[in-house]
């Protein structure tokens, strides 16, 4: 079963490493390492070189870290020690990524201060007041599919409750072998159903966030920019639905395996397949869409006008803090997706509520 160990880690972490390495290629063409630039500057040779150097450093360092993790976890059979190796690897990946972004952000900031002021035109900002009236995301009614599956799983669980074994495997190692076995209880038996419901509510929230997030329009080609942004939101909304459905079905499978145990290899193969499909979807989304729809192929010449950037509100190019901005959700500057306006109390309330709910449910089912 050792091959499953390597396949699992490879499928989970190697694609993530590559996606992290190409982060600067997924950002908007008006932002470089968290600093506002014009599209012409974005395509200039110095910035292309920065992106290549970032990708090379990330790939070399993080592939090395992955190799060390694979080597370390293969030496031990104890699942706790394997988990320790993986936690150390994940922390190392996060730290390396943050240091690299911080370094290139400062480098870009200095480059703009020294080289760009004399070459760019004044910045401009555009707003479309009718933007929210358009179809930006799929309807939350699609999540009734999830509700039907969850209700069906809950009914199956209730009918079959007496048939569930007194001892239920709760956690597995990288080879698919159970490492934690707990006594039968409502919490352990209904755990997959609870997780299905939680994830569905979370993905509905994300879908609403995609719709409500702050509008960002490029200046010289506002119509094309808005079209790209609509495509960006819609594709992410559809991906959000598909991913959540895959995860709901995965927990549905886990519920059935409690009652009808399957071979460890089959179980791990199903998990690997779901992880692979999600990561494949992420890669396709990143490469074909890009942040704000930057990689969507619509005809437009690179603009020499630098958009309104509000760089001073982006701390380290990653954390948005603007008390004057009523927006709660904004597009990331470095990376793909959205982040919160850290100056808005409601943003912190929502974030803490989500984390608190996850922690509370974890205690309830433990």
Instruction: Give the separation between CA 19 and CA 286, rounded to whole angstroms.
Output: 8
Burial 31-40 (b: 16+ CB within 10 A, else e): bbbbbbbbbb
Write out the DSSP string of 21-41: HTHHHHS-TTEETTEE--HHH
**Averaged confidence pLDDT in the chain:** 83
HSE value, Cβ hemisphere, 13 Å, CA-based, for 78: 4
CB-based burial label for 222 (10 Å; 0-12, 13-18, 19+): middle
Q: pLDDT for 43-94, tens place per residue?
A: 899 999 999 999 999 999 988 888 888 888 777 777 667 778 888 888 898 8
- What pLDDT score was predicted for residue 120? 46
Q: What is the pLDDT along the chain (366 residues), one digit of tens a residue?
A: 455 666 667 777 778 888 889 989 998 888 899 888 888 889 899 999 999 999 999 999 988 888 888 888 777 777 667 778 888 888 898 899 999 999 999 999 999 888 776 444 444 555 555 666 778 899 999 999 999 999 999 999 899 888 888 777 766 665 556 666 777 778 788 888 988 999 999 999 999 999 988 887 776 677 787 888 899 999 999 999 999 999 999 999 988 888 887 777 777 788 888 988 998 899 899 999 999 888 888 666 666 666 666 788 888 888 899 898 888 998 888 888 899 999 999 999 988 888 888 777 666 655
Quote the crossing angle between the two packed helices 264-289 and 2-21, to the nearest 10°. Answer: 10
Q: Where are the domains of the chain?
A: 2-365
- Predicted structure pTM score: 0.84
Q: In sequence order, which residues have a C-beta less than 8 Å from that of residue 5 and are 6 or more positions away?
A: 73, 74, 174, 175
CB-based burial label for 94 (10 Å; 0-12, 13-18, 19+): exposed
């Amino acid at each position: 079963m050792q091959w499953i160990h390597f396949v699992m880690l490879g499928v989970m972490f190697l694609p993530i490493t590559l996606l992290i390495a190409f982060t600067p290629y997924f950002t908007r063409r008006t932002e470089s390492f968290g600093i506002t630039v014009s599209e012409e500057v974005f395509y200039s040779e110095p910035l292309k070189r920065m992106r290549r150097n970032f990708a090379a450093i990330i790939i070399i360092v993080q592939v090395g870290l992955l190799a060390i993790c694979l080597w370390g976890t293969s030496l031990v059979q104890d699942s706790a020690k394997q988990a320790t190796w993986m936690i150390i690897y994940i922390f190392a990946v996060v730290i390396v990524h943050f240091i690299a972004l911080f370094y290139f952000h400062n480098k870009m900031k200095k480059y703009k201060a020294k080289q760009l002021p004399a070459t760019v035109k004044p910045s401009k900002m555009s707003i479309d007041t009718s933007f929210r009236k358009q179809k930006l995301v799929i309807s939350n009614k699609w999540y009734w599919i999830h509700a039907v599956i969850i209700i069906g799983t809950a009914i199956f669980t209730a009918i079959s409750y007496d048939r569930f074994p007194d001892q239920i495997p709760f956690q597995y190692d990288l080879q698919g072998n159970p490492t934690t076995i707990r006594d039968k209880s409502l919490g352990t038996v209904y755990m997959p159903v609870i997780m299905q419901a939680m994830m569905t509510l979370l993905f509905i929230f994300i879908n609403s966030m995609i719709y409500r997030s702050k509008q960002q329009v490029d200046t010289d080609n506002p119509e094309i920019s808005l079209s790209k942004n609509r495509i960006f939101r819609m594709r992410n909304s559809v991906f959000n639905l598909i991913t959540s459905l895959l995860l709901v079905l995965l927990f549905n499978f886990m519920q059935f395996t409690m009652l009808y145990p399957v071979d460890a290899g089959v179980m791990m193969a199903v998990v690997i397949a779901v992880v692979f499909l999600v990561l494949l979807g992420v890669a396709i989304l990143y490469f074909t869409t890009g942040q704000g729809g930057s990689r969507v192929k619509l005809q437009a010449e690179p603009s020499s006008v630098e958009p309104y950037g509000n760089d001073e509100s982006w701390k380290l190019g990653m954390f948005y803090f603007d008390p004057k901005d009523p927006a709660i959700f904004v597009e990331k500057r470095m990376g793909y997706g959205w982040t919160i306006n850290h100056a808005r109390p409601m943003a912190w309330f929502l974030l803490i509520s989500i984390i608190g709910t996850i922690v509370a449910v974890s205690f309830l089912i433990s």
